[in-house]
Amino acid sequence: MKKRAVLYARVSGDDRSKDGRNLAGQIEMCREYAISKGWDVVAEFSEDDRGASGASFELPELDRARDMAQAGEYDYFVVREIDRLSRKLAKQLIVEEQLKRADVEVVYVLEEYADSPEGRLNKHIRATIAEYEREKIAERMVRGRRQVVKNGKIMLHGNKPPFGYRLSEDKTTLVIHEEEAAIVRMIYNLYVEGDENGVKLATRAIADRLTEMKVPTWADLRGYSYKKRGHGEWSWRHVIEILRRETYVGRWHYGKRNAGANKYNPREYWLTFEVPVIIPEELWERAQTQRKANTTRPKRNVRHEYLLRRRGKCGHCGSAMNCIARKSGKKIYLYYICNGHMGGVVNVSCDLPGYRADHVDALVWEWIKSLLTQSDVLEQGLAAYHESKEQYAAPLRDRLLVMDDLMGDSRSQLDRLLDLYLSGNIPKEFLLDKKDSLEKTLASLGEERRNLRTQISAQAGSEADLSKLRVFAEEISAKLEGGDDSFERRRGIVELLDVRATMIVEDGQKYVDVSCFLASEKLSFETGTNRNGG
């Protein structure tokens, strides 16, 4: 029977421009190799990670290839070279071992590695070098960019300059764009000094005023097409961004964010680059003081209790439901109102009426309690939920077993090295190289193992949350209405169940289409009855 092969190619952000590294070139080379061996090519997978790391397991084409291997659909997995599969040693070893257990052999076109101790050593050394090169390339790029900034040239990495600035003709610094700078100064003055009547405007009021004036936003002026708002429509977030930007007092910072870790670097790591000043230091400081004071005040609606806050959706236009408090005389009424109905979504005009929050919350809470008191519904729902979680966790545990086996094998090889050294029959240089390779393999596998254990622990945490639901269900069944007098507890149960509500009107009748991982049902808003339950 003719052997079957799957071809795999991958490019990443730091090598797309290199000759021979493009996807078509890789696939062509793998195809020629497979044909020369007399294998049938049953599938070709090309992976353009677009910023994802070769160290990541979450690559969809590689996942498809692994699934096909588990199903026994091919015999050889053909890759151009080791760093096209991964530049991280632990991942390369784990993927190879998983394919090996599925009776699939990984073949590298540019290098053949014998299935022997020497062959495995050579492969480990090559993979270690690939991982080292990846880290050194990233390090050199960061160091080089920082040196450019230290030498007096601004680095924007393809980003556009902040509102109020343009890049200088020689592309070394920022220069003031006077028309935009005037808007920046107006925003600070309205926020700190006040309007023509001396009234300090909040960020939303400033955004409304700029929208009325049809002032183009940063995205409007730079031709961005992905905007959610129309031309000249400002949001309070635009205003906040301008109010907190330190660039306007002449200090632009490089290295603020760690893109790989998606977090801010310590401030001492930042490089400060001097740019022209738009806002005086004293005015900027006053704006920061006022902004911090505003954030400590109670926000609108925070003092009110909405059981479905951020969990409601309009069934007519699909917009989110806002939580609104309205005063009538001395009484305050809480409502869920469609964002499209309130004019908060561009080009959307929705006619969904408002829903009294206390009525909706009571209706949904009674539905939740009725679910939890039906033991068969509860157990079936929890079983289905557990099964879905198990499907997610099973590959993680399988990967952990593979990792443990690989680590055990590496430790055994280290132990054997000592015996070889004591026997004196093996050159010392070879032993040192092998020892260094094995220690790096163990370190790489250990790091990946810790990451997996973290993910599996998070899964165990969700199981603990489900046990809370069972306890709460038992309390309700025993007529212990503890949740009814505690909003925090009711809200906690809503989040555990992941309750979602869609509000609709049919034939003049209001309904709440509510769902969670246990069940879903359409509830009549006026009568409290349900329709089309399921």
Strands (DSSP E) along 385-433, which ranges? none
Is 465's pLDDT higher than 90?
Answer: no
- What pLDDT shows up at residue 341? 86
- The string of pLDDT tens digits covering residues 277-312 is 999 998 999 898 888 876 654 444 446 889 998 899
Which of the four pLDDT bands, split at 50, 70 and 90, describes residue 486? confident
Find which of 55-69, 98-112, 427-441, 460-474 is predicted with most confidence, using mean pLDDT: 98-112
SS3 129: helix
**Tokens (6 digits) for 243:** 């109010």
Q: Say if residues 51 and 13 touch (Cβ distance below 8 Å).
A: yes
- The string of pLDDT tens digits covering residues 163-218 is 999 999 888 899 999 999 999 999 999 998 887 767 788 888 898 889 888 888 88
- The string of pLDDT tens digits covering residues 367-385 is 888 887 777 766 776 666 6
- What pLDDT shows up at residue 532? 40
Strands (DSSP E) along 339-379, which ranges? 355-356
Query: Which of 74-83, 350-359, 505-514, 518-527 has the least mean pLDDT?
Result: 518-527
SS3 224: coil
How much is the pTM? 0.41
The set of residues, in sequence order, having a beta carbon less than 8 Å from that of 134 and lying 6+ positions away, is: 54, 55, 83, 87, 88
Q: Which structural domains are found in the chain, ordered by start? A: 4-147 (3.40.50.1390), 165-296 (3.90.1750.20)
* Mean pLDDT value across residues 422-432: 64
Average pLDDT of the chain? 77
SS3 125: helix
Is 5's pLDDT higher than 80?
Answer: yes
**Tokens (6 digits) for 150:** 């230290």
Cα(483)–Cα(466) distance, integer angstroms:
16
Is 33's pLDDT higher than 80?
Answer: yes
